[in-house]
Amino acid sequence: MGGRKVEKIKENSFVKKVGFNRIVLFFVMILMYAFFCVATGGSFWGFSRILNLLNYAYFLGFLSLGVTFVIATGGIDFSIGPVMFCCALISGYCLTSYGIPMPVCLIISILVGIVFGVFNGYLVAYWSVPPFIVSMASMNIARGVASVFTKTQSVSWPQSSAEAGWYRNFIKIGNIPVGLFIFLLMAVICAMILNNTKMGRYILSLGSNKEAVRLSGVNVKKWEMLAYVICGLLVGIAAIFFVSAYTTVQPGYGDQYNNEAIAGCVMGGTSMAGGLASISGTVIGVFIIALLQEGILALGFTKDYQLIITGIIVIVAVYCDVIARRRKN
């Protein structure tokens, strides 16, 4: 009886247009926020708490958007967190130690991300190295390069009051969450690329049936590599938003953000098997992960609890995707 009601809801024209999964995720997010407000005695309520939540969501969101393209091809990238830190450390060290102007350093951050994207994509697409192996290697290379370049020193980007502190306006100006508008604009661009362009169609097709796409005459290596390059570009941007929020970066970190970014992506409806991706779902998934992070800290627990819950979320999301695919087949 309950199953029939759910199916009837799914057949609703509005639900079909928006997506049943996205609607469920949105209500889950609202319920989570209400729960944390009640559980903390109302202290979780407030605009300042939302701004803190958004600071975390920005860089994590760009990571998730990037890895969405990779997972859509049927690949995976576990190097995004360390690569983000590598981008932030190299560009920050250029700023603080060599006196390179801020605009150039921001470009350097993006270029470093693209270089790693090209490296990963070329090995996966042209050398047929398994994505898992490539991402593990890239993760270690990113850590090593960042440590060698900065001589294992942490890097502190300028504060808002400093002359070069204008870059922090990417996050907010006063109480205006500028970063939210930039992130949502980028999400719209990514959605348009994935759903309304030849590039997006080929990327999704690679995840569905790579061999069939190859036999149809499409240069599958080119488009598969491009998915990793896009991911690298977005990781470089994520690094800018990370330092805009937190300013200080240390070598050897970043791994913890891999699972969170992938969790936001998979929770939003992107299939780990490839061929199916939802940018809007990824956006909601990222906000849920950021809300979970902020809520757990507000309750007085350590981040370790969030890592446990995030791991469970990934398992449940992948299991649901497997069940859904079995039903279709």
Q: What φ, ψ does residue 300 adopt, rounded to 5°?
A: 95, 5
* 30 domain-assigned: no
- What angle do helix axes 131-150 and 102-125 make, rounded to 10 degrees? 150
pLDDT greater at residue 161 or residue 10: 161
**pLDDT for the residue numbered 123:** 97
pLDDT of residue 156: 94
Helix (H, G, I), strand (E, B) or coil at 156: strand
Structural domain includes residue 262: no
Residue-number span of the structural domain to which 127 is assigned: 47-254
Q: What is the rounded CA–CA span in Å between residue 297 and residue 312? A: 18
What is the sign of the dihedral through the CA atoms of 79, 82, 83 and 84? positive
pLDDT band at 275 (very low <50, low <70, confident <90, very high): confident
Q: What confidence score (pLDDT) does residue 174 get?
A: 85
CA distance 238 to 47: 23
Average of per-residue pLDDT across 137-143: 96
- Residue 212 counted as domain residue: yes
Tokens of 96: 């603080």
Task: Answer left, alpha or beta for residue 111, where phi above 0 means left and psi between -120 and 50 means alpha.
Answer: alpha
> Which residues, in sequence order, are CB contacts of 111 under 8 Å at separation 6+?
236
> Quick check: is 259 in a domain?
no
pLDDT tens-place string over residues 203-216 = 999 998 888 988 89
pLDDT, position 63: 97
In the predicted structure, residue 118 carries a pLDDT above the cut 90: yes
Per-residue pLDDT of 187-196, as tens digits, reads 999 999 999 9
pLDDT in tens, 296-317: 888 888 878 878 887 887 788 7
How many distinct structural domains can be found in the chain? 1
- Whether pLDDT at 182 is above 90: yes
pLDDT(141) > 90: yes
Banded pLDDT at 9 (limits 50, 70, 90): low
* Per-residue model confidence (pLDDT) at position 38: 92
Grouping H, G, I as helix, E, B as strand and the rest as coil, residue 176 is strand
306 is a domain residue: no
Q: Is it the case that residue 2 has pLDDT exceeding 60?
A: no
Q: Is residue 296 in some structural domain? A: no
Percent pLDDT > 90 in the chain is 61
196 in a domain, yes or no?
yes
Q: Tell me if 61 is assigned to some domain.
A: yes
Average pLDDT over residues 100-124: 97
Assign 12 a pLDDT band (cuts: 50, 70, 90): low
